[in-house]
Amino acid sequence: QQQVKQSPQSLIVQKGGISIINCAYENTAFDYFPWYQQFPGKGPALLIAIRPDVSEKKEGRFTISFNKSAKQFSLHIMDSQPGDSATYFCAAKRGSARQLTFGSGTQLTVLP
């Protein structure tokens, strides 16, 4: 019940295209859903996060869509750029817990 399942494992998109990464969870107690971005040789860094009281959150070209009934959330990167090439992790946290449960990661490559 603590798992977060992420897909696809890898994604190749042309510059200017839309990148979509999906995550699904089982534990209905999860109430915080962040996405972390990791560049090669660096640690993951928070990109954007959402709570279940909203269905969508947008920050620049990055949007999280959240479907509470389906227990799914996704990251959309509009107008994808080569500089977006990185590994993206979804994660989830329940209530007062302090630790995050991470998905398996998606390696995104944006071709110039």
Partner 1 sequence: DAGVIQSPRHEVTEMGQEVTLRCKPISGHDYLFWYRQTMMRGLELLIYFNNNVPIDDSGMPEDRFSAKMPNASFSTLKIQPSEPRDSAVYFCASKRGATDTQYFGPGTRLTVL
Residues that bind partner 1 (CB under 8 A): 32, 34, 36, 41-46, 49, 89, 93, 98-100, 102-105
User: Could you tell me the smallest distance in angstroms from the CB atom of residue 6 to partner 1?
Assistant: 9
Residue 90 or residue 110: which is nearer to partner 1 going by CB?
90
Residue 69 or residue 99: which is nearer to partner 1 going by CB?
99
User: Could you tell me the smallest distance in angstroms from the CB atom of residue 4 to partner 1?
Assistant: 10
Residue 33 or residue 77: which is nearer to partner 1 going by CB?
33
How far is Cα 112 from Cα 16, in angstroms, rounded to an integer?
9
Inter-residue contact 74 to 65 (CB < 8 Å) = yes
Choose among 37, 97, 105, 29: nearest CA to 68: 29
User: Could you tell me the smallest distance in angstroms from the CB atom of residue 14 to partner 1?
Assistant: 26
Classified as helix, coil or strand, 82 is: helix
How far is Cα 8 from Cα 67, in angstroms, rounded to an integer?
18
